[in-house]
Amino acid sequence: MPSHEDHKDVAVDPGLDLFAAIDSLRREMNAVILAHYYQEDDIQDIADHVGDSLALAQAAAATEAEVIVFAGVHFMAETAKILNPDKLVLLPDLEAGCSLADGCPPREFARFLEAYPGHKVISYINCSAATKAMSDVICTSGNALKIVSSFPADQPLVFAPDRFLGSWVSRQLHRDLVLWPGSCEVHEVFSEKRLVELKALHPQAVVAAHPECPEGILQHADHVGSTAAILAFARKTPAKQIIVVTEPGILHQMRKENPDKELIPAPGADEACSCNECPYMKKNTLEKLYLCMRDRTPEITVDPGTAARALAPIERMLELSR
Ligand code: 13P
Ligand code: SF4
């Protein structure tokens, strides 16, 4: 059986109808395909569920399929595996990582926590299984306010690994949080100066931004929320122009849902680079999706001890999000 490494060199017959081939494998394998809003358009179109991190974790928890094909990044597939230790969980490209997860190495995080005895630990789902295993509860951008609010006001809290999401939550709830200093390399490069210029060019436009963006960006937003919340805002707003400050993969669903609205992606600081495309999310392609299903690899594995410890905080999040 070819390994995932081999996939780099495998050429798929250009005459193959990838949509039909993936669909037939899905039925043969009894697989469910979960895709994040930042995946390329074709992957979103063939998925059984397209969603934000919370909706995809909920779909993974609820599925009766034998195989979960996760078109997203590693921490998402890892969460699905922790929830389904007996199922085969596939990720089209094992190199689909995340700067937030990579920026919070478990050993350093354990040392960091030693300085905060008596604190409860809330970890954003964008982290490794080992970091989740050191947490009391997991959150996503869709439920972070609710999860933090579930703790009594006098309970000291550590929030990791996204300092921008953490400081947005802290401002919204007027609550101190000890923040791990991580960030998303995609959302931190939006340019406040260029956003202000864009707003001046489109004075009727509203701004929807993801809370992984720095405060300088969020202060110009009419709406701040997860990808699913940004989509809901775009559907509801009477405004005909929306400036979108998150990864541009979201525009695919937004265009389908709002054919009458003008969607304006916010620029990064550097005009010459498409730095707002998540390089990890974009590692997955329709071709790799097909190959991972055909060859049943690369498979996500999680050390059973770590998985057992990470399960409780994930389940606590799912319980609090019902
Ligand atoms: P959500 O889709 O949960 O808002 O997360 C965005 C993101 O950056 C995922 O990595
Ligand atoms: Fe990680 Fe940012 Fe990419 Fe999301 S957009 S997967 S947070 S690097």
Does the Cβ of 39 fall within 6 Å of ligand 1? Answer: no
Q: Please tell me the residue having the least CA distance from ligand 2 atom 5.
A: 278
Q: Looking at residue 8, what is its pLDDT?
A: 55
Q: Are residues 131 and 48 in the same domain?
A: no
| Residue from 74, 79, 140 to probe ligand 1 pocket by mutation (most atoms less than 8 Å from CB) | 140
Domain contains 289: yes
173, 194: one domain: no
What does the angle CA 61 – CA 65 – CA 67 come to, to the nearest 5 degrees?
A: 95
Q: Is the CB of 52 under 6 A from ligand 1?
A: yes
Question: Considering the domain boundaries, does residue 27 fall inside one?
Answer: yes
Nearest CA, atom 3, ligand 2: 278
By residue range, what is the domain housing residue 232?
A: 187-265
Measured from the CA of 225, which atom of ligand 1 is nearest?
A: 4
Kindly report the number of other CB atoms within 10 A of residue 107's CB atom.
Answer: 8
CB-ligand 1 contact for 253 (6 Å cutoff): no
Ligand nearest to the CA of 73: 2
Number of separate domains in the chain: 3
Ligand 2 atom 2, closest CA:
184
Q: Which atom of ligand 2 is nearest to the CA of 98?
A: 1
N-to-C CA span, the chain: 41
- The Cα–Cα gap between 163 and 181 comes to 5
Please choose, from the candidates 52, 73, 33, 44, the residue with its C-alpha nearest in 3D space to the C-alpha of residue 321: 52
Is 113 a member of any domain?
A: yes
Residue by residue, DSSP assigns 81-101 as HHH-TTSEEE-S-TT---HHH
Q: Which atom of ligand 1 is nearest to the CA of 126?
A: 10
Q: How far is the CA of 15 from the centre of ligand 2 (A)?
A: 33
Ordered DSSP codes for 123-173? EESSS-HHHHTT-SEEE-TTTHHHHHHTS-TTS-EEEESBHHHHHHHHHHH
Domain-embedded: residue 46: yes
Report the CATH number that the domain containing residue 40 is assigned in CATH.
3.40.50.10800
Per-residue pLDDT of the chain (322 residues; tens, 9 = 90+): 344 444 655 679 999 999 999 999 999 999 999 999 999 999 999 999 999 999 999 999 999 999 999 999 999 999 999 999 999 999 999 999 999 999 999 999 999 999 999 999 999 999 999 999 999 999 999 999 999 999 999 999 999 999 999 999 999 999 999 999 999 999 999 999 999 999 999 999 999 999 999 999 999 999 999 999 999 999 999 999 999 999 999 999 999 999 999 999 998 877 777 779 999 999 999 999 999 999 999 999 999 999 999 999 999 999 999 9
Atom of ligand 2 nearest to the CA of 73: 6
pLDDT in the model for residue 269: 77
Residue 48 DSSP class: S
193 and 221 assigned to the same domain? yes
What's the Cα-to-Cα distance from 43 to each of 22, 97, 261, 293, 299, rounded to whole Å?
Answer: 10, 18, 24, 13, 19
Predicted TM-score (pTM) of this structure: 0.96
At residue 11, the pLDDT reads 77
Nearest ligand 1 atom to the CA of 36 is 2
**Residue 8 and residue 82 in one domain:** yes
